[in-house]
Amino acid sequence: MKKNSLAFFSLVILLIGCAEKPRSVGNGLPNIDGAFIIDTMTIYSVKDTSYTVPLETGSALSNLTGRISSTEEIFSMYNFIPAGSIDSLNGARIDTAEFRLTVNYRSNPPAGKLLFNIVEIKKSWSQLTFTTDSVPFLQLGTVTIGSFNDSMNNGTMTTALLDTNVMRRWANSYLDTTAPDFYGFAVQSPLGVNNGVIGFSTFNDYAAYAPQVFIRYTRNGRRDSIAFLAGEDAFAAKTNKPASFSGLMVQGGFGVRSKLSFDLSPLVNKPIVNNAVMELTLDTTASSFSGYSPDTVTALLSISGTTLDQSDSTIYVYGLRTAATATQPPVFKFSVTNIVDRWVRGVKQNYGLTLRWSAEYGTVEKAVFYTSTASETKRPKLHITYSKK
């Protein structure tokens, strides 16, 4: 009986303790006694600008080469660096030398065969440090030492014969310590020829698609051949872009980016942002796409009000193109809920968004959008759904 009584009184004490100190599952939750109002708002951009940045093109998977217009030209560079196998050419006669490139990108080339000339690079460069604004410091030869003349179909290898005397100098630069240095080859469009842009596989690609020099030679009366598939490469825009742009523009290859801003002051009292979608209306006449790259633009959170191209690379969204309708041009839509929410709550300062072509290394796709001065139906806008008391 004593043991049972002790258990009974313990249970009573436990129940009384629970009654006196209840634990609420709603502790710390916001007060929801008042009603929340859900509303929508459209905010138009107040400022935008387009500009160029230097691209480090040595890491690209496609070496862009060609000319789109009188102000849009790109050329590619190759420096073959042989290993010990270069000794095979010591004292040998070079009979033929072939420069081989594999096509992996095409941007609006004309029908028929395309002509690209090869010249010698006369000044030192490195793919680790070369950027698209390094062109003024580069020196290209004026004598054509070989030419590609091919339909340049995607996935095919195109071949050009190189001047054997030039290749002898290239070999001697590695075999003879007293010989002049050799800095590589540049592939470019002939002057005045707009042949679109072709992309060639790089040394970063699989060996089967990498640039190569194939040499047939004779040594001690015996004929043989050797292939060189290692080196460094890059591409660069030879002609500068204009200082100002007519539209809100992003373009791969040339490093054209944009920045735009929205005034969020109409969203007072820090409402809860439920959804935010940015829409950019495409100017189809001014834009250019190849079909070899996804139609995707990246919008990044800008983090500076003074430095034009400064953004947080960890906070970004992709914009995808919607189909045009009978009354509406194509629109790129971006789900920017998390970014707008940061601005409204003051977690991040509102310095706007930085736009770039998602595949800007290795493609020349160009998307031009209507600006903040366009009509309301076309200017950049934010559609925001929010809730507040």
In this predicted structure, which of 13-17, 112-116, 264-268, 342-346 has the lowest mean pLDDT?
13-17
Q: What average pLDDT does the segment 79-94 reach?
A: 92
Q: How confident is the model at residue 20 (pLDDT cuts 50, 70, 90)?
A: very low
User: Using one digit for the tens of pLDDT, what is the confidence trace for 209-267?
Assistant: 999 999 999 999 999 999 999 999 999 887 666 666 777 999 999 999 999 999 999 98
Task: Compute the CA torsion angle 47, 52, 57, 62 (nearest 10 deg).
Answer: 70
User: Using one digit for the tens of pLDDT, what is the confidence trace for 279-326?
Assistant: 999 999 999 999 888 889 999 999 999 999 999 999 999 999 998 888
Query: Between the CA of residue 374 and those of 39, 329, 336, 368, what are the distances in Å?
Result: 26, 14, 22, 13
DSSP 8-state class, residue 195: -
User: Using one digit for the tens of pLDDT, what is the confidence trace for 87-113?
Assistant: 999 999 999 999 999 999 999 999 999
Q: Measure the CA–CA gap between 265 and 258, rounded to whole angstroms.
A: 23
Q: How confident is the model at residue 16 (pLDDT cuts 50, 70, 90)?
A: very low
Q: Measure the CA–CA gap between 315 and 332, rounded to whole angstroms.
A: 18
For the chain, domain boundaries = 37-53+255-388, 57-237
Q: How confident is the model at residue 132 (pLDDT cuts 50, 70, 90)?
A: confident
Tokens linked to 273: 């942002």
Which pLDDT score, from 0 to 100, does residue 326 have? 84
Residue whose token pair is 């100017």: 283
